[in-house]
Amino acid sequence: MSKKRRGKCLCGTVRFSVSVPDPTFSICHCDYCRRWCGGPLMSVHCPGDATFDDDASLRWYRSSDWAERGFCGTCGSSLFWRLADDPGAMLIVAVDAFEDAGDISLHRHIYVDKKPGRYDFSDRQPRITEAELMAELGITGEGE
Ligand SMILES: [Zn+2]
Ligand SMILES: [Zn+2]
């Protein structure tokens, strides 16, 4: 069953709810996510769009040929990632944007070939490269 979860940005002006059928998160080590967050992006894959109580502060930034990133224009919280050409198809949500993320468990690491050497995570979950992820998703193109 797909549970609806509520989330918000740091200042609370962006408030949303979204279905989370699979309560797991991935950690992305790509250059784009690390630049955007100031570190790896930990996020949950949601198969549909969010509904918003208030999205007046929500801004979207086109970060590559095929993706855009949503953030709060007031407090700057990094919140969402989606496909630019099909924005309602799915939504990647920063795990700690959820009000209750206590039961959301780590699924895997992605873009591990882009991870800098200065940090490591100690978990034993799977680690896949950019090429492996692109093959899995059937995506061709640059950027993330
Ligand atoms: Zn905010
Ligand atoms: Zn990334």
- CA 128 / ligand 1 centre spacing (Å): 32
User: How many angstroms separate the alpha carbon of residue 3 from the centre of ligand 2?
Assistant: 25
DSSP, residue by residue, 106-123 = EEEEE-GGG--TT-----
CA 69 to ligand 1 center in whole angstroms: 14
Q: Per residue in 76-124, pLDDT tens?
A: 999 999 999 999 999 999 999 999 999 999 999 999 999 999 999 999 9
**Interacting residues of 15 by C-beta distance below 8 A, sequence separation 6+:** 6, 7, 8, 52, 53, 54
What are the structure tokens assigned to 49, written together?
């769009």
pLDDT digits (tens, 9 = 90+) for 28-47: 999 999 999 999 999 999 99
Q: E strands, the chain, where?
A: 3-8, 15-20, 24-28, 41-46, 51-54, 58-62, 67-72, 78-83, 91-94, 105-110
Amino acid code (one letter) for 21:
P
Task: Please state the domain extents for the chain.
Answer: 3-137
Give the tokens for residue 99.
Answer: 């009000």
Distance CA 58, CA 72 (A): 5
Task: Provide the CATH number for the domain formed by 3-137 in this structure.
Answer: 2.170.150.70
Ligand 2: distance of its center to the CA of 42 in Å?
A: 9
What is the value of pTM for the model shown? Answer: 0.92
Residue corresponding to tokens 């206590």: 102
Provide the pLDDT for residue 23. Answer: 96
Structure tokens at 81: 């990632």
